[in-house]
Amino acid sequence: MKGRMKAFAIAFALVALGTDAREAFLSMAYTNALGEELPFSIFSKHAWALDPKARFVKLHLYFDQPIPVKGISINTCGDRIDPHMSIFFNFDQLRLQLDSNLAGDVPEAMYPKWHGGILEVGGFTDSIEVRSLTFNFEANSGFKICGIDLKDPRGEAYAIKVPTLVGGSVEASSVLEPHSA
Percent of the chain predicted with pLDDT > 90: 29
- Which of 29-38, 128-137, 165-174 tops mean pLDDT? 128-137
Using DSSP, state whether 163 is helix, strand or coil: coil
Edge-to-edge strand ranges of the sheet holding 71-75 = 113-115, 118-121, 71-75, 147-151
Q: Is the pLDDT of residue 83 over 90?
A: no
Residue spans of the domains in the chain: they are 19-161
Q: pLDDT tier at 181 (50, 70, 90 boundaries)?
A: low
Residue range 54-71: mean pLDDT, rounded: 92
Query: Residue 102 gets which letter from DSSP?
Result: G
Which has the minimum average pLDDT: 28-32, 57-61, 90-94?
Answer: 90-94
The reported pLDDT for the residue numbered 69 is 93
CA angle 97, 30, 166 (to 5 degrees): 150
The reported pLDDT for the residue numbered 160 is 95
The reported pLDDT for the residue numbered 82 is 79
The reported pLDDT for the residue numbered 16 is 36
Indicate the fold that domain 19-161 takes in CATH: Jelly Rolls (2.60.120)
pTM over 0.85: no
Pairwise CA distance, residues 124 & 127, whole Å: 6
The reported pLDDT for the residue numbered 99 is 61
Q: Is the pLDDT of residue 6 over 50?
A: no
Cα(first)–Cα(last) distance of the chain, in Å? 69
pLDDT in tens, 10-22: 333 333 333 345 8
pLDDT in tens, 100-150: 555 445 566 676 777 888 888 887 888 889 999 999 988 888 888 999 999
The reported pLDDT for the residue numbered 114 is 79
